[in-house]
Amino acid sequence: MENLKTASIIDGKEVSARVRAELKAEIEYLKQKHGLTPGLAVVLVGENPASKVYVRNKTRACEETGIRSFQHTLPESLSEGELLTLIKELNASKEVHGILVQLPLPKQINEEKVLESISPQKDVDGFHPYNMGRLMIGSPLLQPCTPFGVMRLLESTGADLSGKEAVIIGRSNIVGKPMAMMLLRKNATVTICHSRTKDLPEKVRGADIVIAAMGRAQFVKGDWIKEGAIVIDVGINRAPDGKLVGDVDFEGASRKASFITPVPGGVGPMTIAMLLKNTVEAAKKLASI
């Protein structure tokens, strides 16, 4: 007989709505009690259409939550020096608690130099080497939003991560590596896989927690998943029919996993929610609250 058991869906829209509602209440309190309105500066350089959409979504999310947003839209021809001058001003501004420079930047601008010029206390993307280092030593200040959001999704399942085998597929600085540090802090035993990993299916078969962050459509198959595993799909890929799909074969994996995130509607909505959270945390720290 066919096995009809399917995994519980981890609803990223619902969890992110909860995070935003908590933040809205907290921001209201900060305004009333401390006269503090958290502020996020979003810097967009050039005409990248995807970047424009991301910036619009982030600005709208700020407004809905009560965060003041300061949008800086700058021409493609902007020089590195001009951008560094703006960041210096934002670093010094009393009203700005978070600074986000939308990537990618035009080719005449060195991204690394720009990201390092952001004050680590206002680095709400968590990409500054200082914040990466803090996470590495187990004392995080501001954490990268996507893996931070994944942790919140894992928490929503109620699972105890201690002693669990976690396999992360992908080793990027924005997802895979910080993800590993966050899971390690929760006492999981972490394996990071990448394009040179030998026998990936076998590695995944041993995992209680699978984090797929490779950017390869439906690469992770259902029969790689251990019975009862938690599967988090970070990937966002465009299938040939135009639909958005993750890195995991959702149908197949659902028959084995205990919990699974859908794409879209899983990790995606969490990223912006955690950006808002980081902005509020940064504002509180800067105001010594």
Q: Give the residue ranges of DSSP H helices in the chain.
A: 12-34, 49-65, 80-92, 111-117, 129-136, 145-156, 176-185, 200-205, 250-254, 268-286
Of 50-58, 118-126, 129-137, 214-222, the window that binds ligand NDP (rule: CB under 6 A) is 214-222
Q: Check binding of 195 to ligand NDP (CB under 6 A).
A: yes
Q: Check binding of 198 to ligand NDP (CB under 6 A).
A: no
Q: Check binding of 194 to ligand NDP (CB under 6 A).
A: yes
Tokens of 121: 């206390």
Q: Check binding of 157 to ligand NDP (CB under 6 A).
A: no
Among residues 58, 122, 186, 203, the one annotated as catalytic is 58
The binder of ligand NDP chosen from 147, 170, 178, 262 (CB under 6 A): 170
Q: Check binding of 193 to ligand NDP (CB under 6 A).
A: yes
102 flagged as catalytic: yes
Is residue 262 helix, strand or coil? coil
Which CB, 36 or 105, lies closer to ligand NDP? 105
DSSP 140: -
| CB count in 10 Å sphere of residue 82 | 14
The binder of ligand NDP chosen from 70, 116, 129, 215 (CB under 6 A): 215
Least Å from the CB of residue 139 to ligand NDP: 24
Q: Check binding of 200 to ligand NDP (CB under 6 A).
A: yes
Q: Check binding of 214 to ligand NDP (CB under 6 A).
A: yes
CB 277 within 8 A of CB 21: no
Euclidean distance between CA atoms 60 and 161, whole angstroms:
34
Bridge-based pairing of strands 244-245 and 237-238 is antiparallel
32 flagged as catalytic: no
Of 71-79, 107-115, 132-140, 231-239, the window that binds ligand NDP (rule: CB under 6 A) is 231-239
Q: Which contiguous run of DSSP H or E holds residue 233?
A: strand 230-233
Q: Check binding of 169 to ligand NDP (CB under 6 A).
A: yes
Q: Check binding of 121 to ligand NDP (CB under 6 A).
A: no
31 flagged as catalytic: no
> Most distant CA pair in the chain: distance in Å?
67
Euclidean distance between CA atoms 125 and 174, whole angstroms:
9
The binder of ligand NDP chosen from 37, 71, 91, 172 (CB under 6 A): 172
The rounded Cα 233 to chain-centroid distance in angstroms is 12
Tokens of 144: 């990268």
Tokens of 209: 């927690």
Among residues 123, 125, 233, 247, the one annotated as catalytic is 125
Which CB, 206 or 228, lies closer to ligand NDP? 206
Which positions are annotated as active-site residues? Answer: 58, 102, 125
